[in-house]
Amino acid sequence: MKLLASLLLCLFVSVAWAAEGDTPKLDIGKGGQCVRDPQWMRKNHMHLLMHQRDETVRKGNRIEQDGLKNCVECHASLSDNSVIARDDSFCVGCHRYAAVKIDCFECHASKRRTALVMKDGK
Amino acid sequence: MSDLNTQRRQFLKTSLGAAAVAIAPGMLLFDTAHGKAEAGSSKVRWGMLIDTAQCKDGCNDCVTACNKENGLSGGTAATDSQWIRKIELKDIRSGRELSLPMMCQHCEEPPCVDVCPTAASFKRADGIVLVDRHRCIGCRYCMMACPYKARSFVHEPLQDQKPDVPRGKGTVESCTLCVHRLDKGQQNTACAEACKNKAILFGNLNDENSEIAQKIRSVASVQVRADLQLNPGIRYQGL
C-alpha cells in the first residue's frame, strides 16, 4: 500500500513539475479580459484576428476592440511596451511553446501606441 | 475576380445545413453569402481636386505630412516608398511651368486591380484603391500596370510602423487616401490638411452639396490621362 502511494505520489509530482516547467511564463502586460474569457481567447484568438483583418482592410469595418492594435495595447509588456521583444513577451512566449510562426509583426506595430507616440515626440 | 467573397468559408460551412432545411434555398444562400452591409459605403466616392495655381513651386508640405502620417522614411531613392511626390511640368512651347503633387489616382476602373493575380489589389466600395497585404505576394504586376507610377514596393524589413498603418517588406503599397482616418470618421487627409495654400481639396464626389462636388461643377478640371478612361478620383484644376 505504501509502495503504491509513493509511486502515485511520484507520478503526480512529476506530472505537476513537468507541467509547471514546460508552460511558458508570460509577461501579460496589463492583461485583464476585454474581448472574451481567457480560455476562449487562447483557443480562438486567431479566428477573431483572421475575421477582423478582412473586415477591416476590405470593408472598412474597424472593430477597435477585436483589432490587433487593441491586443497590443493591453498585452504589451509594461517594462518595454512590446509583445515580441523578449522570450517571455506575450505573443512570442506562447507561440514559441506551440511552435506556431507568427508574421503579424513584420508589418503591424508590436509596441504600445503610447510608447510610439512618446518616441515620435523625442 | 472583381470582389473577394470574404465570407466564403463561413458560407460553405453553413450552406450544407441551410440547404437541408430551406424551402427556397436560393434566396437563403444568397443572403448568407453576401453577409451584412459594408461600412465603406458605395454611396461615397472619395476624391480630390488639386488646384495647380495654388500649388507652390518648392513647397513640399503635403509630401512631408504624408510621410509623417504613414511612417514613411521620406527617402527618394529608387527603392524608397513614395506615396505622394511633387512633379515639375514644363510646356516647352510656352515655357509655362507647373509644380504639382502626384499620387495614386484611385481610379474607378483601376488597372492594378485588373492585373493582380491574388486579388490583393482591390477597390473598396467607397472608391479607395488599396493593397491587402495579407494577400499580396509582391509580384509587382500592379506597379507595371499603373499609368501613374503611383505604387511602391517595400524592399527592406521595417521597424516601428505606425499602429494605424501596417507596412512590411515584400509587399506593394501606395496612397490610401488616409483610409484609417476616414474609417474613424475624420473627413480630411494628412496632405490636404497640411497644405498651406489650400491647393488640395478633399471630399465626397458623390455628395452634391460637398465643397469638392460644387467646385468641380463650377471650374474646369481634368483627369490625368483621361484618354485611358479610368475615371480617377483625383482631378487637377489648371493643368
The residue count for chain B: 239
Q: Which of A54, A106, A109 sits opposite B160 (nearest CB)?
A: A109
pLDDT tens-digit series, residues B81-130:
999 999 999 999 999 999 999 999 999 999 999 999 999 999 999 999 99
What is the three-class DSSP state of B75?
Answer: coil
User: Can you give the pLDDT at residue B43?
Assistant: 87
The answer to whether residue A7 scores a pLDDT higher than 80 is no
pLDDT of residue A25: 84
pTM of the model: 0.80
Rg of chain A in Å (alpha carbons):
19
Q: What pLDDT does B31 receive? A: 40
**Please, which residues bridge with residue B84 across strands?**
B103
B166–A72 CB contact, under 8 Å: no
Give pLDDT, residue B182: 93
CA end-to-end span of chain A, whole Å?
Answer: 70
Of the two residues B34 and A42, the one the predictor is more confident about is A42
pLDDT of residue A34: 81
Residues in A closer than 8 angstroms to B132, CB to CB, are 57-58
Contacts of A106 in chain B (CB under 8 A): 157, 168-169
Give every residue of chain B whose pLDDT is below 50, as ranges.
Answer: 1-2, 24-38
The answer to whether B162 contacts A109, with C-beta atoms less than 8 Å apart, is: yes
- Nearest-Cα distance to chain A for B80, in Å, is 16
Cell reading at A60: 472598412
What is the per-residue pLDDT for B12? 63
Q: Is B126 in contact with A54 (Cβ distance < 8 A)?
A: no
pLDDT number for residue A12: 52
Cβ-based neighbours of B43, under 8 Å, separated by 6 or more: B206
- What is the C-alpha separation between B3 and B16, in angstroms, rounded? 23
- Inter-chain touch B163–A72, beta carbons under 8 Å: yes
Distances in Å between the Cα of B6 and the Cα atoms of A51, A57, A85, A97, A115 are 8, 11, 33, 31, 34
For residue range A50-97, list pLDDT tens digits in order: 988 999 999 988 888 888 988 898 899 999 899 998 888 999 999 999
Q: Please work out, in degrees rounded to the nearest 5, the angle formed at the alpha carbon of residue B213 by the alpha carbons of B182 and B178.
A: 20
pLDDT at residue number B65: 96
Look at residue B42 in the predicted model and tell me its pLDDT. 81
Give the per-residue pLDDT at B8. 65
pLDDT for B74 equals 92
Q: Over B91-151, what HEC string results?
A: CCCCCCEEEEEEECCCECCCHHHHHCCCCCEEECCCCCEEECCCCCCCCCHHHHHCCCCCC
> Taking CB atoms and an 8 Å limit, are A116 and B162 in contact across chains?
yes
ipTM of the complex: 0.77
pLDDT confidence of residue B33:
42
Q: Tell me the chain B residues in contact with residue A57 when contact means C-beta distances shorter than 8 Å.
A: 130, 132-134
**A99 CA: distance to closest CA in chain B (Å):** 21
